[in-house]
Chains A and B, each alone.
Chain A
Amino acid sequence: MTDSGETGRTATDAVHLDGITKRFPGVVANDDVDLQVERGSVHALLGENGAGKTTLMNVLYGLYEPDEGRVVVDGTPRDFDSPRDAIDAGVGMIHQHFMLVDPMTVTENITLGNEPERWLGLSIDRERAREEVVDLSERYGFDVDPDARIEDVGVGVQQRVEILKALYRGADVLILDEPTAVLTPQEVRELFGVFEELTAQGKTIIFITHKLREAMTAADDITVLRAGKTVGTLGAADASRERLAELMVGREILLDVDRPAADPGETVLDVRDLTVEDTRGVRAVDDVSLSVREGEVFGIAGVDGNGQAELVEAIAGLREVDGGAISLGGWDATDASRRDRIDAGMAYVPEDRQESGLVMDFDLVSNGLLGSQHARPFAENGRIDWDAAREHAEEIVAEYDVRPANVDARAASLSGGNQQKFVVGREFARDPRLVVASHPTRGVDVGSTEFIHDRINDLRSDGRAVLLVSSKLDEVQSLSDRLAVIYEGSFVDVVDPDAVTEEQLGLLMAGEQPDADVSVGEVSQ
């Protein structure tokens, strides 16, 4: 282990990126970007999806060679050819997608590629590897079992293993790409605690985020990127959410919207005593009843994994129902096929856009057709009208500002936020009576989130019924007219989202009843 720790501290910045330009075919991902990161500080790199944050950090980590500009680490100009060079210079990166080998243990993963050896390299010194890992995690106050297999531990622990992996290789500067995207609020707080521990011991942290609040909570300094350019660096103390949002998006953003009172009409979706078992035969949804009316948004809040996914899939027709009934505008849809549900006016924004929302290898024209491939005006007598399909995709791209605005691009080539906008656009364009939206803004930047929220509000004022599931509390709270809290497969309560406080919701999400009565009565009206 080559942990240089306290040595070599100078007044110079830990990292200085000077005029970095990085072009990809057709895109300038980084355009003359500057970044200065003080040693021992936490620096947030804030920007919308596609702003070029990941690209910039990949340049610093040696994955990309910049077309122009200098990378200066510790006052020394560097020319990294590969991550190996960056690691040798004390720069470590934790990618958004963890680079861990699932069936291997924590220790095996941390030491991968740097295994301590004995007997002239004929054997891994497993005791020493384990000891080093234990020492390292104790030193930074991490609580990880060195012998656990990666596939058996949660995402939070996996992230720590990634951090330890970088530290084990002697990293002084740690880059984390969207580290909070996969964590629960509790884990996010722990991660920020880890940041403090690390900077206290002289490490420097750069973390990428598009969440304003996180940047303000965890960072000392914040650099904002927009469309590949640096728009500014400011101290977290001087920053406000409004100011940051404006820098990010380039215009003023309304973070809280007032909307007209609901004027609900007839019941569109009616779910009675629904019971759904998950793949293991455990009751994931237990006797849930709800109804959604025209011109109303019914929200479901809860900690992920409490049956929301199964409930939504059962309603969408992707999962078999084990008890109870689902009716769509009076029509019994309990055992109806996906196609019949779509034809009956149901739109569905799935939780995982890449798994079930898009075919990644198809272009946007074909993806825009999904779910309507059998129906007019796109199909007649089994023949697809590709011109109509193309026009349709172009409309979605234009209306939802999907970038790049090229319907011949493969879905896989779009950034996550743009993929999501396209899926939402396709589903909302069905002229639905009912929209089932599961985490519609997950992984989406502020600007696009605002846009999607506006569209949901439009649907509502248009008299459509919306069932909204989200783990973002502010989202469900601000959009819903009635809000159910789900815990271990059942609704704990249905509350008025305007009257309930975040604390009360927190208690409900943990399966407890708060003292004050926030219920709006019957679970289904």
Chain B
Amino acid sequence: MTDDADSGEAAADGGETADRERTGDGLGAGLRRLSGRLLVALATAALLALLGVAAVVAPESSVGRLFGIVVSTSTLSATLRLSVPIVFAAIGGIFAEKSGVINIGLEGLLIISAFSAVYGADVTGSMLAGLLIGVLASTVLAAVFAVVCIEYRADQIIAGLAVWLIALGLAPFASQVVYGSPNTDSVGTLGTWTIPVLADIPLLGALFDAAPPVYLMFVTVAGAWYVLNRTAFGRWVRAAGENPRALDTAGVDVSRVRYAAVLISGVLSGIGGAALAFNIGQFTGNGPTMVNGKGFIAIVAYLFGNYNPVGALGSTMLFAGLDAVQLRLQTRQILGVPDSLVQTIPFVAVIVVLALVGRTRIPEAAGEHYESGEE
């Protein structure tokens, strides 16, 4: 950082014109930014409507059957299940990045907690204890990441990749040592909590007949939004990522805020990883492990959601929904398209969405180290 007193001088020199430009296109840019997201939402709705109309006209055509798959209780409940780890990781990522620390290691945090949770549950015989152990493991890894980035000024991207690679190697290795295979033994799955009456609503009933992590996910999204937008801590997190010096001179310790935010990303990713593993009851560690890119999709999800937890939930559900549809299309052979092509649907969607959204406002100081008192 070349942030001495004098760079300020010139920044201020140029400030006036820059400001004028910014106010000039503030509204236009806002509209454009909105329209990207709106476009995706509208396109999704339009597509569903189109499918719906076709389905009513010709229920037995392949389009009609496609609609039957897309709009069904089981697709929705699969979407929710697939969303859980992504949403938890994404919200953790929001906290970290809003505070100025880009945590690209979410994938690694999910992996380490997925394994630790299963191992913990296996050893203690309690899934709750397993969850806590999973959360602990990913929080410890996040803490190491935080120390390396905040205390030792490591490059955040490289340190984040290291977190992923460490977890990617460590979890299957530990499984190999303990269970003699990259896949652990099964520890059983979580049951569902069914809310009477509500669970019988057609289609939306899936929302009320789900595993506990799904409910926790909704509570967490709401809670994260509240913390970020309504509490002093949330405001400090935002300030730490936008202009850490402003926060520092206001008397708040920037490093502490950043540590807290990164630890939160560890805790939340820990819950996500544990939920992922408990969903099928074991950890599988072949190749990219059972996490299989969900941590990276989480980053896309929060960027697409413009760092808003609710937005991240929405975009995750879009990707997860496509993934759920994709999985079911594979088993039904409706369109006569090869499986391998169908499998790419969610990823194609990610690319299209990113291209459409284009502008996400990244926190000004994200990725930059901050040293207090460096005038």
Contacts and interface: CB of A to CB of B under 8 A. Distances in A.
B6 A113 contact: no
Interface stretch (B23-31, B309-317, B350-358): B23-31
A280 B27 CA distance: 13
Contacts of B238: 101, 103-104
Interface in B1-21: 2, 4-17, 19-21
A172 to B, nearest CB: 17
Interface string A277-309: 011100000000000000000000000110001
Given A124-B230, A305-B16, A151 B22 contact: yes
Given A87-B251, A151-B26, A182-B15, A58 B375 contact: yes
B12 A181 contact: yes
Interface in B214-245: 230-232, 235-236, 238-239, 242-243, 245
Contacts of B10: 352-355, 416, 443
Contact of A279 (B4, B14, B16, B21): B21
Interface residues of B, number: 44
Given A100-B246, A103-B242, A280 B235 contact: no
Interface string A342-356: 000000000111110
B236 A113 contact: yes
Contact of A109 (B230, B246, B252): B246
Dominant SS at the A interface?
Answer: loop
Contact of A99 (B14, B25, B230, B245): B245
A113 B247 contact: yes
Interface string B250-273: 111000000000000000000000
Contacts of A354: 7, 10-11
Interface in A66-98: 82-84, 87, 93, 95-98
Given A121-B232, A152-B23, A54 B5 contact: yes
A113 B252 contact: yes
A471 to B, nearest CB: 10
A443 B232 contact: no
A112 B23 CA distance: 23
A413 interface: yes
B251 A123 contact: no
B243 A96 contact: no
Contacts of B232: 115, 117, 121, 124
A266 B6 CA distance: 40
Given A101-B242, A280-B25, A412 B7 contact: yes
A114 B13 CA distance: 30
B291 to A, nearest CB: 33
Given A83-B249, A104-B238, A355 B14 contact: yes
B251 A83 contact: yes
Contact of A97 (B12, B19, B235, B252): B12
B364 interface: yes
Contacts of A102: 242-243, 364
A64 B4 CA distance: 14
Interface residues of A, number: 63
A181 B9 contact: yes
Contact of B235 (A95, A100, A108): A108
A165 B247 CA distance: 12
By secondary structure, the B interface counts as helix
A99 B243 contact: yes
A341 B314 CA distance: 53
B5 to A, nearest CB: 5
B26 A152 contact: yes
A415 interface: yes
B12 A304 contact: no
B336 interface: no
Contacts of B19: 151, 153-155
A109 B245 CA distance: 12
Contacts of A109: 246
Contact of A104 (B11, B14, B239, B245): B239
A154 B9 CA distance: 16
B196 interface: no
B21 A443 contact: no
B373 interface: yes
A124 B235 CA distance: 9
Which has the most chain A C-beta neighbours within 10 Å: B7, B15, B17, B249? Answer: B249
A448 interface: no
Nearest to B249: A99
Nearest 8 A/B pairs, CB to CB: A97-B8, A113-B250, A412-B2, A99-B246, A354-B10, A416-B6, A115-B232, A84-B251
11 contacts: A99-B246, A101-B238, A102-B243, A104-B239, A108-B235, A117-B232, A304-B16, A351-B13, A355-B14, A361-B2, A416-B10
